[in-house]
Amino acid sequence: MRTVAGGRTLRIAKLEIENFRGIREGTVQFSPHTVFVGPNNCGKTTVVEALALLFGRDRMIRQLTEHDFYGSNPQPPDRIRLVATVIDFEGNDPAQHMDWFRDDRGVVKWWNPANGAVMPARADPSWRLACQVAFSARFHRPSLEVETLRYFHDDDAVEDVFSEESATGFPARLIRDIGFFFVPAARTWDRTVSFGSELFRRVVAAGEGQPSESVLTERDRLRAPEARLEQDERLAPIVERLNLELRGFFRTAPKLHLRVTTTDSDGLLESVVSHYAHEGTDLPLPARRHGSGLLSLQHLLLLLQFGRLRAEAHEGFWMALEEPELHVPPALQRRLVHRIQALSQQTFVSTHSPMVAALADPKGVAVLRNDDGQLTSIPLLTSTLPADTPNSVRKLFQVNRVETIAALMHEFVLVPEGRTDYEWIGLLVRAIDLHQSWAAADECRFDAFVGVIPTHDGAVLRTVNAMAPLHPRVVAIVDGDVEGLGYAAALTAAGSPNSGVIIRWADDQMLEDTIGWIIEADAAACLAAIQIDNPAATSAELVTRLKSENRNAGGLKKDTSSYESIAASIGANEACCTRARSLLNAIADLAKGVANPLFVADANNAAVKVFQP
């Protein structure tokens, strides 16, 4: 638990979502600094926007439409319902938190940290005081409007808040106290650092720095400018004629004056535009002329200043940030994420960047998955990882977590037998990509759909099991040797993997043999192009050497630079490249459950699809 000295410590323990966007139902538990990862459309943005609906200021709440309801066709009784459980009230004593617990606020609940359940009475001293806040929305057909309500959630049996009108509203005052800020991925920020932006005004006001005297002085100067536009020699005749005309209509003879603002302080603040001058340049340029990097950053930095002020004033600061990797180079991402986490009580970050996700404590990385509207959220590394978990599996969540997270963001997750397979598949994908044209036939669909796990030490069974809770479509690929057959049999016996798809190389073969098969497409040309010591004369020789680690005998196993050279030659050779592509596409097809002529079902085990070179 993170504690802001003497101040607010509140955080959200969990969020229940019903009927919102692509989520029919789901629960997400949060750690103090949560980073959401997962494939596209798994609900990352939905979760963050749900928090904004619950805790964001009114102006942050976009008008909802039918499309915000699950299925996009809300019937009268359908409701979007979001329930958040707020915990970490200091002392766990409701009497100390009257702004949350009283007759016109919430009722007392208790959160069980062991299972995340919220109970009406405290049965164990480890349970923490909790308050539940809800958001509900319905589509009112006669007016075609979505009606929304934020209220204290008394219990799950509560009748419909719209038909009973009995809910206790969640007051704007608490929303201010919480200080929830949401930086969406769609950033239209060019005017952000202007006094006109509410954020900037609040930052300045929070620091008691409202520069009101300067503003008023500038306002007065603008009311009576030294050089008056209307007196310009070319403009003056027009203005004079206009004034004459006006005199014909109004007894008071109005005269035109041109001013650059509305000559009140509000107009002045609205007109202020941030400019930046880089070192060595005299003339500052408006922020929007500087490129999106600076623009994105200035907003975030301003928010962080605001967060700092709130922290100093012992006020809350929760921050939701979508895709911090946008516009910010990797080096800054790291700094940014760390700054945000250091200054906020709680952060909610959604990301498509495995690097950003890997910055966080692995316990804070939540993998979201959406199975037909059923949302689940699993911490990347649950503290319940069995004690006997071998290092080979542990590594996936630690040193290799960038790769693991990257794989989990795909529609399908492929678990190969070992590191070599992982590396070879990656090399083939890159080699093909480099030579990809716009022709549809050239398209390699593999990388768009399938993410590969860097399995260690042939721990295919363990790895498949470790990935199963994190992803609904895990595919295993094993060798055609005795061990591989054993893995395949063990997996099938355990009803694993969850996709039901096991891929196996041809009998007595492994991936290196398949590389040989690819080269066979145009062996002479391809082998000649491979830049290695003692070039192989035949593909069979190359395969043998690829399987051997004996460097004295020309063994190439785990020789990365040779791998790269071979892959480059495959990519550069049209026939080989086509074969490699057809292989990868075949694997993608199998993952999707589509039959592909390169693989046939094992006669002994129909779940296993065997490569037929």
Partner 1 sequence: MTIRAVEGAAGCGKTTRLMAMLAETLAAHPLTEGQRVLALTFMHGARRRLSDRLKGVAGLGGRVQCCTVDAFAWRIYRRWRGLAMALGIPAFTEGEFDAVCDAAGLLLEQAEVRSWTAMSFPIVLVDEGQDLRPQRLRMLVALAGATHAKIAADEFQCLDQTLRPNPLVTWLQDTTEPETLVQVRRTNVGGLLAAATAIRGSQRPVNGQGFRILQPGVSVPLAATLLANAIAWRQGGDVAVITPALQGGFALSVVARVAQGPCGQQQNGPYSIHWEGTDREETQLIVGALQLPAAPTAAEACAALRALPPSAPGRAAISWVNNQMHAVGRTAFAREEIEAVIARNVALRRQHGGGGSHLFNAMTVQQAKNREFEGVVVIWPYQVGGDIEHKRRLLYNAVTRAKRWCNIIVQGQNILAGAPFA
Q: Which residues bind partner 1 (CB under 8 A)?
A: 75-77, 94-95, 98-99, 101-105, 107-109, 119-122, 138, 140-142, 154-158, 160, 162-163, 166, 168
Closest distance to partner 1 from the beta carbon of 94 (Å): 6
Closest distance to partner 1 from the beta carbon of 142 (Å): 6
Give yes or no for a contact between 477 and 421, defined as CB atoms under 8 angstroms apart.
yes
Which helix H or strand E contains 390, and what residues bound it? Answer: none
Smaller CB separation from partner 1, 162 or 276: 162
Please count the CA atoms within 13 angstroms of the CA of 171 that sit on its side-chain side.
Answer: 11
β-bridge mates for residue 131, sequence order = 86
Smaller CB separation from partner 1, 138 or 504: 138
- Its sign, for the CA torsion 522, 528, 529, 532, is positive
Closest distance to partner 1 from the beta carbon of 96 (Å): 10
Give yes or no for a contact between 191 and 273, defined as CB atoms under 8 angstroms apart.
yes
Residues 6+ apart with CB under 8 A from 455: 392, 396, 415, 416, 417, 418, 419, 421, 422, 463
Smaller CB separation from partner 1, 120 or 237: 120
Gap between the Cα atoms of 90 and 97, Å rounded = 8
Closest distance to partner 1 from the beta carbon of 130 (Å): 12
70 phi/psi in degrees, rounded to 5? -60, 125
Smaller CB separation from partner 1, 59 or 173: 173
Closest distance to partner 1 from the beta carbon of 98 (Å): 5
Place of tokens 């503003």: 215
Closest distance to partner 1 from the beta carbon of 168 (Å): 7
Smaller CB separation from partner 1, 107 or 294: 107
Closest distance to partner 1 from the beta carbon of 107 (Å): 5
End-to-end CA distance of the chain: 56
Smaller CB separation from partner 1, 94 or 362: 94
Smaller CB separation from partner 1, 134 or 453: 134
Gap between the Cα atoms of 30 and 12, Å rounded = 7
Q: Do β-strands 109-111 and 118-119 pair in parallel, antiparallel, or remain unpaired?
A: antiparallel
Smaller CB separation from partner 1, 99 or 508: 99
Which helix H or strand E contains 215, and what residues bound it? Answer: helix 212-223
Smaller CB separation from partner 1, 107 or 607: 107
Give yes or no for a contact between 548 and 538, defined as CB atoms under 8 angstroms apart.
no
Smaller CB separation from partner 1, 72 or 560: 72
Between helix 560-572 and helix 574-592 the angle, nearest 10°, is 100
Closest distance to partner 1 from the beta carbon of 152 (Å): 8
Residues 6+ apart with CB under 8 A from 169: 149, 150, 151, 152
Closest distance to partner 1 from the beta carbon of 609 (Å): 48
Gap between the Cα atoms of 172 and 437, Å rounded = 56
Gap between the Cα atoms of 539 and 155, Å rounded = 69
Smaller CB separation from partner 1, 79 or 290: 79
DSSP 159: P
Closest distance to partner 1 from the beta carbon of 248 (Å): 55
- DSSP per-residue codes, 458-524: T-HHHHHHHHTTT-S-EEEEE-SSHHHHHHHHHHHHTT-STT--EEEPSTT--HHHHHHHHHGGGHH
Closest distance to partner 1 from the beta carbon of 204 (Å): 27
